[in-house]
Structure formats: C-alpha cells, structure tokens
Chains A and B, each alone.
Chain A
Amino acid sequence: MAEMWINMGPQHPMTHGLWNLRVKIDGETIVAAEPEVGYLHRGIEKICEARTYPQIIPIADRLCYGSSLTWSHLYCLTIEDLMDVEVPERAEYIRVMAIEMQRIASHLMWLAAYAGDLGLAVGFTYTMRDREVLVDLLQALTGSRLTYNYPRIGGVAHDLPPDFERDTIRAVQYMEMRLKEYEDLFDGSKIFMMRNVGIGILRKEDGINLGVTGPSLRASGVDYDLRKDMPYSVYPEMDFEVATHEDGDCYARYRVRMDEMWESCRIIRQALQKMPKGRWRIVAPRNAPAGTGLGRVEDPRGEAVMYAVGDGTDRPYRLKIRSPIFVTVSAAPKILVGYKLADVVAIMGGLDMCIGENDR
C-alpha cells in the first residue's frame, strides 16, 4: 500500500474534542503526523478584557471541561497576585481540598477516555461511575456539576456544607478501594500491557526540550511538579510524594496518573485534618491597580500559567493563558512517528487532551 494521509478528526472517536490529527501512514506504520488545532477557538482572552474581574471566574471555568476548578483557581491566584489580596487560611485549605478532588475526577475522566479508546468498555463505565462520587461531592460543595464557579478573588464562594468532612472521608476510602480494582482491571490484563508497554516513548531530553509538563513529563523521569518545586497555596504544609516513572512510554504515563490519584487521596485527608476554623472569604477590591500578576499551578494536565495586566479599572487590560496541552500536542508528532496506526489512540489518549483550554 502506498503512503497516504489519514485525517483523524475533526469528527472522530479518537479526538475527544474538536481537533484534527493528520497522520501519514505506510501500510499501518506512521511516517509523519501533523496536529491541527483551533476549531474550538472562542477568543476567551479577548472576552476577558470586556468583563469585570469577578465576571471572568465563570469564563475561566469554561477553559477545560475536565478540570474547570483548577482553572478558576488559577485565575483567582493570578488576580490575587495582581491585587495583593491575602486569602483567609481556611479558604486556602478548602481550595486545596477541592482542586485535589478535581484532580482525581479529571484523572478518572482521562482513564475513562483512555480505556474507551483502547476498547475496554468496562474501564469507561466503571471510572465514570466512580467519578460521579467526586462530582456529587463537588456539587454539594459548589452547587454545580461541571463548571463550578467556586473560587472567588479573596477566598471561596461557600463554606463546607454540613457533614462534608464525613462524606469526603468516605469518598476517599471508596476511591482507594476502587483504585485497587482499576489496577486489577488494567495492570492485571495481559492485553492492556501489550498495548501500552514500550509504546510512544518520550525521552527525557525531548520532553524537556519540547516543553512538555505535567504527568507526561514526570513519566519520562523528570521530577518536576509545581506543587513541590514552586509551592503555592498551602501545598508546603502537605506531605505527599511526586509520582515519577522512568520509562516514558504509555504505561509510564498511565502509572504516573494512577499514583497521582493515590497521592491526591492523601492530600485530601491531610487538608481535612489541618483545616482551621474561620472566615472563608474576604471582600476583594473592585479595581485592580496598574501592574501585573502571575499565577502558576500544577493542572492535572501540566503547568498552567495565567498572566494578568491591570490598568487601574475594574477590567483587566490583558489576560494571557498558557495551556499545558497546547505544548503537549505540539510535541505529539515526535512521539507518534514509527508506531502503528492503532497506537495513535494509545499515545494521544495517554497525553490527556483537552481542547477547551488548548484553543481557548
């Protein structure tokens, strides 16, 4: 068979969003790949310039459907840096707990999509079912299921609802039980290992040079986690380990995310234990001073950065968003070439695509 281009996208089961991966195949082997993004461009950075500071929080939620809470949290961090607002300590603990729950939910959604891609339907339904537990908790906390609109500039919107600690501890116990089941379901399956081990190897140097961050980089053996290396919020007081893996293949990326879920369970328990009493919100100023603010967080998908410029009014002059997935998808051709067509789903699924934040 001669070489031919295949469009995987924009409407394709593999893409999980609206983007296009063009691969050139020789028989079943990939010889070139070309990601095309931008189908979901909504101009969020420009929309933000016409909104007041609190009004941007729900828009920041819309950046990523998988982990909307981390993005609104990042936005609030940025604007707090810009306005020089001190957040009450209880709010910081609530935020850390909520974004770790969001991290587990996001990783579970990734696992569901990944299992669905590989053809393991039970993996899809079981993970989505267990994600529901965390989504229900976040719903009780924030009042919504997907776009939470929960962090505020200077705190969080609501205090913990009654019985929330008890429910959270139960949910964490349930999750730890379930994670063992997933390890049986995925690691214990010979066919899953056949599809993952040694596929899509990203070497350490390549990962650093291409700017890949997050679990994909940690799977290549680089110990780089903003929660440890450049701590924000109350992460310095949390006791957890950064999950890394040496191999850099699809299995390593899977393993790193699974280990991160275990660590997130630990962080949630600690945050609940150490949470002080007190206020959860202060009144933030309406206008930001002229100046700049920068926020960097460890998103479930990598390092997310927001940079805000204020000009003394109640609207930002400029808001720049750095999406981790935009960089990761740019690195995809390097990982893809040389593998089989069926490995495209394993590799691209393993990178955890989210097009909302990618196209902004």
Chain B
Amino acid sequence: MNLFEFCHGIIHWLVDLVNNLWYWLGDFLPWYFGDLFTAIGDFAASEGHLLFMTVLVESVVIIVVALINVLNFLWIFRKLSGRILDFYGPYYVGYRIGGWLQNLADGVKLFTKEIITPTKADRLGFLLAPVIFVGSSVTILAVIPLSANFGLSTTSEPGEYVSAGALFALAAFSIAPFAILLAGWSSNNKYTLIGGMRSAAQMMSYEIPLLLAAASVFLLAGSFNFVDIVDAQHDMWFFIPLFIGFVVFLICLIAEVEIIPFDLPEAEAELVEGWTTEYGGMRFGLFYMTTAVRSYAGGALATAFFLGGWQGPWFVPDEIWFLIKAYIVYTVFMWLTWSVPRVRIDQMLVFGWRRLLPLAVLNLLIAAALKSGGWL
C-alpha cells in the first residue's frame, strides 16, 4: 500500500461516514433543503473532490514527516557538534530521548518573543524575505519522495510522482539567494548588506557546478524523475562512476546550505550575524529552521542522486534506508564543518570558478562518455 492509497482510503471512509450522517439529517428537512443537502453530499462523494482532499492530506503527511526529520537534523546538529566540541549538547529537555525536545522548547521560547522591525528598514522587503526563503525551502520537501511508495502522487500506481521532481527541487533550492539578498538589503544595515551581497555571489557561483554535477546524474539516468534516477542506480550507485561529481556536489551543497567552511554570509566574527542580524524572535527561528530544512533537502538530494536513494538490503524498510543515508551525509557535513575554519570570500569564489567548475565539466564529460559507450 502506498501513500496515495492510504490517504485515499482514509478520505473515502471519512466522506462515507459524514455523508451517511448528512443524508440522514436531510430526511428530516423540507424538500428544498433536502435537495441541497443531497447535492452537497454527492459533490463530496465525487471522484474529483476525493482526489483533491487526498492530495491535501498527502502533502500534510509529507510535510509533517519532513519536519520531524528536520527536527532530527537539528538535534543531530546540536548533539554532534556538542560531542565533537567536547560537551554534552542538548541534555535536560527530553532527558530520556537525548535532549530531543530542546528544539521544540527553543521554538516555543522564540514564539514568545517580540518581533522587531527596525525603523529604517524597508518593511515590505523585510517581511517578504523570510516568507520567500522559508516558502521556497519547504517547497523542496514536497517533491522529495522517501521511497517508491512514499511521495506526493495522484494515482495509486507506485512511483508515479511529479515527472520533473528533481529539476523542481533544484529550482526551488536556488530561489534562496534572492530572499537572502532581499533580507540583507531591506534590513538597512551594513553588516546585513555585505552578508546579502556575499550570499548572492556565493550561491550564484556555486549553483553552476551543483547543476552540472546534477546534470551528469540526469544524463546517466535519462530522467528528471526521482524514481527513475533511483531505479537507474539499481546495479551501481552513481557515486562510484561519478566520484568527482559526487565530491563537487557535496562541496556545493555545503556552500548552498551555508555551513562553516563556506558560511561567509553569516560570518560571525566579522559580520555580526550576517544577513540575519536584524531578524529577531520567530523570524530568526524560521531562518534557523529553514537552514535545517535545506540541509535535509541537500542530504536527500545527494542520497537520491548518488547514494542509491532508498535501495538497500530488505530487512530495513525503504524509507528508513533513505533517511539513514541522508543522516549520514549530514553527519559528514557536520564533521567537516567543525574541523575547518571559514574561508575568505575571494578564495571561495576562486575555488568555485577555477576548481569546481572545471571538475564539474570533466564529470559531465565522463558521464556523457559512459552513457554513449553504453556502460551504464
């Protein structure tokens, strides 16, 4: 049973239940009300309405599962940083589950704080920036399936998802620089402005190697669909033939989610908190959460593109395999993050344009050679 059938069954059952009540209620009413009631009940039982409601419930389920995963990511982030940095990490809130509730507690605390807008800020831009940033990032989650059975689809066929899902995910991934630049500019603060500028430069220059590395995967798989990409890795996970692309993809992901070797937009030492300096309360909380959402999306993309997606031995469900791989990717990110200092903006751009771009092109050539040679 896949997610669509599950949700469809629930909706069907609910509509039947409500309609029984509804028709029974209609019997007691005068004929003109009774007809209206019957018409509404018939509409509710119609196939189009059922489909619409099913998709709605599906997206709610997917978002909830994804956000729980994001909480897990935040927990891994804090716990792992703590252990690498030789302290405990979250400990007291949710003592029995390793401090897992700490993030919820922080969220509640941030909700109670006043939202401050600077007097001289551009109010519309200041308000819109988090909306775009959070919205575009959460949209990625909608198209990432956890397995052939767990994803947003409109039919009961397994694996019938958004046909260009991977392309959509990458597109949604790269809306963020616009929001960051908007946030940096509208805060009317020199630190945020420099942070926004850096962010724009960084994300645009690392977008290209990222897309080229992904393009080699699309080339080998011959599809933009997640299910096809994962099925194409049935014999060999793509990170073996496309090892250069894998490394380039990971480095670019680190730059895209702005963690330490490339966290120049929010370089803590020189630009106080970078482009989030002026944001307080839950707006900051949303930025913080969205960073984890993007980390999760990045880990999921790397898993789906290079690490065989949900493929793995049978004794663990597919969805869990997918998540385990995404967690491992993120753990490696964290390990790297806490081991190295931050680079400088010019060094970073030089690295992006002069090292990663040629490597990505080389990787694309390898993929093309493999494809045309028919080895994969």
Contact = CB atoms under 8 A, between A and B. Distances in A.
Q: In the complex, is A directly touching B at CB under 8 Å?
A: yes
Interface of A: 1, 4, 6, 8, 12-14, 28, 115-126, 129, 185, 189, 191-192, 194-195, 340-345, 349
Given A115-B341, A126-B86, A121 B81 contact: yes
Contacts of B345: 28, 340, 342
B344 A118 contact: no
Given A6-B190, A115-B341, A194-B343, A121 B267 contact: no
B194 interface: yes
Contacts of B261: 119, 191
B260 interface: yes
Contact of A343 (B87, B191, B194, B344): B344
Interface in B178-209: 190-191, 194, 197
A118 B85 contact: no
A341 B343 CA distance: 12
Given A6-B191, A121-B338, A192-B340, 20 more contacts: A6-B190, A115-B341, A118-B341, A119-B261, A119-B267, A119-B268, A121-B81, A124-B85, A189-B339, A189-B341, A191-B261, A191-B342, A194-B343, A195-B342, A340-B345, A342-B264, A342-B267, A344-B270, A345-B269, A349-B269
Contact of A125 (B87, B194, B260, B347): B87
A12 B84 contact: no
Contact of B263 (A119, A120, A344): A119
A8 B268 CA distance: 12
A8 B263 CA distance: 19
B39 interface: no
B272 A13 contact: yes
B343 A191 contact: yes
A195 B272 contact: no
B200 to A, nearest CB: 13
Contacts of B87: 125
B346 interface: yes
A341 B271 CA distance: 9
Given A122-B85, A195-B343, A340-B344, A345 B270 contact: yes
Contacts, number: 80
A282 to B, nearest CB: 44
Interface string B338-364: 111111111100000000000000000
Contact of B342 (A4, A28, A118, A126): A118
A168 B348 CA distance: 44
20 contacts: A6-B190, A6-B191, A13-B268, A14-B269, A28-B194, A28-B345, A119-B261, A119-B342, A120-B340, A120-B342, A122-B84, A124-B85, A125-B86, A125-B87, A185-B339, A195-B343, A340-B345, A341-B270, A342-B345, A344-B270
Interface string B270-308: 101000000000000000000000000000000000000
A115 B260 CA distance: 13
B276 to A, nearest CB: 14
Contacts of A340: 344-346
Contact of B269 (A28, A116, A125): A116
A117 B272 CA distance: 11
Given A117-B269, A341-B194, A122 B346 contact: no
Nearest to A185: B339
Contacts of A345: 269-270
Contacts of A13: 268-269, 272
B96 to A, nearest CB: 26
Contacts of A14: 269-270
A12 B87 CA distance: 25
B346 A118 contact: no
Contacts of B263: 119
A37 B291 CA distance: 37
A125 B344 contact: no
A194 B269 contact: no
Contact of B341 (A1, A120, A126): A120
Contacts of A123: 341
Nearest to B271: A341
A189 B340 contact: yes
Contacts of A189: 339-341
Nearest to B343: A191
Given A122-B84, A122-B85, A125-B85, A12 B272 contact: yes
A119 B269 contact: yes
Contact of B338 (A6, A122, A194, A195): A122
B347 A4 contact: no
A189 B341 CA distance: 9
A340 B347 CA distance: 11
Nearest to B191: A6
A42 to B, nearest CB: 26
A12 B36 CA distance: 67
Nearest to B260: A119
A63 B362 CA distance: 59
Contacts of A121: 81, 85, 260, 338
The 7 closest A-B pairs by CB, nearest first: A119-B342, A118-B341, A120-B341, A345-B269, A125-B85, A117-B269, A342-B344
A345 B269 CA distance: 7
A126 to B, nearest CB: 7
